[in-house]
Amino acid sequence: MIARTRSRRFVSVDRGIVSSVTPAELLAFEARHPKHTSAKTHAILHQLGITEVRYYTLLHRAAQSAEGIKTDPVTARMVRERAERQAAARAGRTAA
């Protein structure tokens, strides 16, 4: 379950653990860890307290939010463009 609170924080309940993270925190984490590595996966779980799948879901929402774009426009754009490239690659595979 994901809820958006008034303080512009994403609240996530995953495996009975409640964690709260702002779009700015997500984008700052992504800026520090732009490549997908096992160390990043470990850091997502232990530093942010959420699963990798939840992280990417919230990251994409943060990159599309006005607050995320205002806070870190470069990283938000990088995340959006990467998602668009991946969607285009998926579409190309299904069309073939």
What pLDDT, in 10s, does the model give residues 16-37? Answer: 555 689 999 999 999 999 999 9
Confidence of residue 14 (pLDDT cuts 50, 70, 90): low
pTM for the whole structure: 0.78
State the residue range of the domain holding 75. Answer: 2-95
Helices 23-32 and 73-95 cross at an angle (nearest 10°) of 80
Long-range interactions of 53-57: CB distance < 8 A, separation 24+: 54/2, 54/12, 54/14, 55/26, 57/2
Residue 72 is encoded by which pair of tokens? Answer: 């870190």
Query: Taking phi first (over 0 means left), then psi (-120 to 50 degrees means alpha), and beta for anything else, what does residue 3 get?
Result: beta
The domain total for the chain is 1
Order across the sheet with 10-14: list the strands.
2-4, 10-14, 17-21
Other C-beta atoms within 10 Å of 72: how many?
21
For residue 8, what pLDDT is reported?
Answer: 64
For residue 5, what pLDDT is reported?
Answer: 46
